[in-house]
Structure formats: C-alpha cells, structure tokens
Amino acid sequence: MVVFGSAALLFTLAGGSVRAEEDTTGTAPIASPAASSAPANGSVFVDPLGFLLFGPTVGAEIGIGHYSVLAYGRWLDGGLLAKSIFLSGNGKFTFSYGAGAKGRYYFSRGLLGAHVGLAFEILKTRTEDPDPNIATSNLVLVPEAEGGYRFGFGRFFVGATIAIGYAVQAASSVDNINGGDQARYYVAKDYSTIYGSANLDLGLLF
C-alpha cells in the first residue's frame, strides 16, 4: 500500500490483473513516472548507399558517454563508383575490400543526434585484365574527418554522414597472370587524391 496524504492506492497483482482502490477524497491519483530505457552503448549497422559508391558496408560500434569507436568493412566489387575508378577495359575485381575504424563524439548521449569524428580506412584492390593477362594490385590509405546526424526510432536508427580526406597510395604492383608476359610494360595508376564519401547507415542500438 502506498499512501499520498489522505488518499490511498492499493495495487494487487493476481492472475495478471491489476486493481486500484478509488480515491474517495476526489483528489486525482499521482502517477509514477515510467522507467526510462537505458541509453545505448553500442550499435550494428549496414550502409546500402555503398552500392552506388565504394561498396556495401557493415559495421559495429561501442560507445561510452559522448564517445564511440566504430569498425567496419566494405565490399568494393559491389560499388558502382569503385568500379568506375579502379576498372578499365575488360578488367574485373578479384578479392578487393575496404576496412576502417572511426572515433566519434556525439553531442548527445545514447549514440544519437549530431556527431563529428576522425576515420582511417585501408582500401586493398586487385584487378585482372584478361587481354594482356595482367593483374594490378593497389594499397590505398585514407585518413579523413567526418560529420553527420543520426535519427533514432526506438532501438532502430537512420544516420547520414559525409567525410573528406586524402587517399594515399602506399603500394602497388603489376603481375603476369594466365601465362602472360606483358606486365613489364605496365605501371599501376597512382590513386593518391582528395577523397570524399557519404554514408547512409541503417542500424540497431543495443
């Protein structure tokens, strides 16, 4: 029994039912506040916008207070922009990927709202051209700064992020494949350039 002044409210749980005694004084009962859900400490997400840019992306995030750390990976072969940049002629991707990490600061707690951060990504590409029978490999390092906003819908969220940085080609090679002998006549393209990207993250908070 919980007593407020001269009013009494009796809650009895029996067989899943709840009974409350009426307030005979005419004073409205005081409702206790609903328990608020705990703020999120992590998330998992996918980025379908990658199909148009540098490949579909999946990632996970762990946060403490206003700060979080993310790790993600992307499949370059699934991105239209990645194909237009790295492929030419009859070339095709073999195993090519991107992997990166981000550190973020959220202006609100709970991994929602506006955020800024720093990121570092590694792009590893290998393309094969069946005409001269050569394979070209590139290792590109991309430090970048980002900013964005994440909208929450219960435990689900939609987030938009833009980033800018500089891609640095750290290594490259051209090799013969399938009995070819023309690799010595080719030089790998240098992909060092200003780098910009965008993300549309769909995810779940936990």
Amino acid found at 145: A
* End-to-end Cα spacing for the chain: 36
Residue 146 token pair: 């980002």
Contacts of 125 (CB under 8 A, 6+ apart): 76, 86, 93, 96, 136, 137, 138, 140
Does the reported pTM lie above 0.85?
no
Is residue 129 in some structural domain?
Answer: yes
Comparing C-alpha atoms, which of 199, 39, 36 is closest to residue 112? 39
Query: Is 145 inside a domain boundary?
Result: yes
pLDDT digits (tens, 9 = 90+) for 82-100: 999 999 888 999 989 999 9
Extract the residue ranges of the chain whose pLDDT is less than 50. 1-24, 28-36
Tokens read off for 2: 């919980």
Domain assignment present for residue 133? The answer is: yes
CA distances from 31 to 5, 6, 23, 188 (A): 14, 16, 13, 71
Name all contacts of 178-181 with Cβ < 8 Å and 24+ positions apart: 178/130, 178/133, 179/133, 180/132, 180/133, 180/134, 181/133
- 98, two tokens: 């991107």
Count of the separate structural domains present in the chain: 1
| Res 193: pLDDT | 96
Model pLDDT, residue 88: 84
State how far the Cα of 76 lies from the Cα of 11, in Å rounded to an integer.
60
Tokens of 64: 């403490």
Secondary structure (3-state) at 100: strand
Per DSSP (E only), the strands in the chain are: 2-4, 7-9, 12-14, 17-19, 42-47, 57-64, 67-75, 92-93, 97-106, 113-129, 134-153, 156-176, 193-205
- CA–CA separation, 137 vs 2, rounded Å? 73
Range of the domain at 84: 40-205
Q: What is the pLDDT of residue 81?
A: 94
Q: Quick check: is 113 in a domain?
A: yes
CATH number at residue 169: 2.40.160
Residue 26: per-residue pLDDT: 53
